[in-house]
């Protein structure tokens, strides 16, 4: 499971010309699910997302997490994070989990983040054609792969 975390001052997702989710300060998280991902990957990655200390403290150092700034999360499913570009110029997505695997894990991540943060998060819609807008602060973008824990 891969997460791309972007520190944002605002972000939104629009589906069929309707804003489906919108946040102010917090994280835009793009989530890619692959074969073999489990509940343990969700929990490990969810804890890493929540614990990321990438907001500036009073001294300007990246030292604060979401809770410290009362930040929000916009979670977007993105199978293209598992694209393979080794052969040719057309990406292969065979490493992306099929919807019957990916949807329950995506929904589990939503539930996990909401429980751990103690509030609702905003989401895209799995499989939809989404338009994502953001203002990336910094810019700060972090990539975390649950298969590379060490």
Instruction: Find residue 145's DSSP bridge partners.
Output: 2
The verdict on whether 141 is a catalytic residue reads no
Question: Measured at the alpha carbon of residue 122, what is the angle toward residues 149 and 15, in degrees to the nearest 5?
Answer: 110
3-state secondary structure (DSSP) of residue 12: strand
What gap in Å lies between CA 75 and CA 72, rounded to an integer? 10
What are the tokens at 89? 């110029």
CB 99 within 8 A of CB 30: no
What gap in Å lies between CA 42 and CA 55, rounded to an integer? 23
Catalytic residue among 14, 34, 38, 80: 80
What gap in Å lies between CA 122 and CA 14, rounded to an integer? 12
| Residue 86 DSSP label | S
Residues labelled catalytic: 80
């Amino acid at each position: 499971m891969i997460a791309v975390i972007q520190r944002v001052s605002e972000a939104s997702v629009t589906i069929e010309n309707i804003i489906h989710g919108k946040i102010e300060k917090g994280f835009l998280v793009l989530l890619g699910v692959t074969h073999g991902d489990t509940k343990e990957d969700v929990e490990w990655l969810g804890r890493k997302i929540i614990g990321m200390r990438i907001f500036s403290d009073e001294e300007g150092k990246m030292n604060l997490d979401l809770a410290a700034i009362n930040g929000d999360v916009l979670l977007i499913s993105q199978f293209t994070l598992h694209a393979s570009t080794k052969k040719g110029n057309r990406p292969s997505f065979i490493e992306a989990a099929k919807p019957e695997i990916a949807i329950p894990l995506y929904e589990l991540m939503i539930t996990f983040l909401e429980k751990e943060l103690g509030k609702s998060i905003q989401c895209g819609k799995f499989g939809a054609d989404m338009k994502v807008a953001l203002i990336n602060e910094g810019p700060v973008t972090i990539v975390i792969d649950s298969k590379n824990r060490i």
